[in-house]
A and B are shown apart, each in its own frame.
Chain A
Amino acid sequence: MRLSSSCPTGTPCGRGSGFSRDSSSHGRSTASRLKPLLQVLFVALLAFAGVTHAQAIEPMPFADHAQELRFQHLTQQLRCPMCQNETLADSNAPIARDLRNQIFQLMQQGKSDDEIKQYLVARYSDYVLYDPPLKPGTWLLWFGPLLILCGGAGVVLVAIRRRGRDGGTSDKTTDSMPLDNEPADNGDDW
């Protein structure tokens, strides 16, 4: 921790606080008196934050630490069906708690991560997966951005060729392009 060497934010101490000489020395002494208190407060807040985070997920009797890590990794890849912007690991919704318990039970039965994902997909569809599988229904999702990129590149390419031709610098290869069949433009579009 670097608390002792730095000022907690929001306290009028150190440089640039804009006090006159007298009030600045007064301010410094107040701050130095406040400093230990603020440190204690800060540490207490940190500890409390840790407690609230731990409360979001109830303790489970894992067989070992490796299993606990595997559980956390798996639940972070799965989406809570109720509150769809949260992972199963983070969500405090009742269904998320039930599903975490279910995943825990399946782990104790020796099911693999893939089997557990299949279990959930069979009941809640691909929505529970944060990494959607590649299949005809998701082609647009996977390749849509590439399609838009190609479209944009095509537009840029056409614009560049037109400008080049208007500047009189076009070479033989662009002259033979079918673009030349279009009426010449004056370059003031775009």
Chain B
Amino acid sequence: MNRLLPFIGFMLLVALFGFGIWWNSRHDPNAIPTPLLNKPAPAFVLPKLYEPTQTVSKADLLGKPYLLNVFASWCVECGAEHPMLEAEGPTLGVQLVGYNYKDAPADAKRWLAEHGDPYNLLIADEPGNTAIDFGVYGAPESFLIDGKGVIRYKHIGPLTPDVVASELKPAIAALQQETP
């Protein structure tokens, strides 16, 4: 038995190593947990992308839940996410609000013309200051905000079909059950 102790110790280290690999394969090590979850979304007033003279505020969007999708034309992963939004967007059952982050409006419009526009509403944050209040640090990021303006779910990185099925749709279903 005592002769086995070093081997057991070694196997424990192997198990720890394996656990680390398994854990990192299921979690994005670069994702920072947002402290804003289940807290009111920050107040914002941002211009519309297509009508820059008109603004949209947080108060304007109260009443119905919506998915705020942070994207930019310079963001490579947004292009990977986009076909999924095009296909699944209308079936989600919530408004899709595009949040154009640190982008030149002309670039954003060209990008949307090329990739398609799945959004019900498009707002633009060219300086990126409002995004700091949301804790955004890159694109894409997505926030599910309920009718009372509370952030109910956040995803960092592209929304993959897997994430939509296992996380986003259950979160939306939970919202729809409590609203009626």
Contacts and interface: CB of A to CB of B under 8 A. Distances in A.
Interface stretch (A5-13, A53-61, A91-99): A91-99
B2 A124 contact: no
A96 to B, nearest CB: 9
B174 interface: no
Contact of A125 (B3, B6, B32): B32
B135 interface: yes
Contacts, number: 45
Given A125-B33, A189-B5, A82 B137 contact: yes
B-side interface mostly: loop
Contacts of B3: 188-189
Contact of B132 (A99, A188, A189): A99
A98 B132 contact: yes
A105 B117 CA distance: 36
A84 B30 contact: yes
A123 B36 contact: yes
Interface residues of A, number: 18
B32 A127 contact: yes
A185 B2 contact: yes
Interface of A: 81-82, 84, 94-95, 98-99, 102, 121-125, 127, 185, 188-190
28 contacts: A81-B32, A81-B137, A82-B137, A84-B30, A94-B128, A95-B128, A98-B127, A98-B128, A98-B131, A99-B132, A102-B129, A102-B132, A121-B35, A122-B35, A123-B35, A123-B132, A123-B133, A123-B134, A124-B32, A124-B35, A124-B137, A125-B32, A125-B34, A188-B3, A189-B2, A189-B3, A189-B5, A190-B5
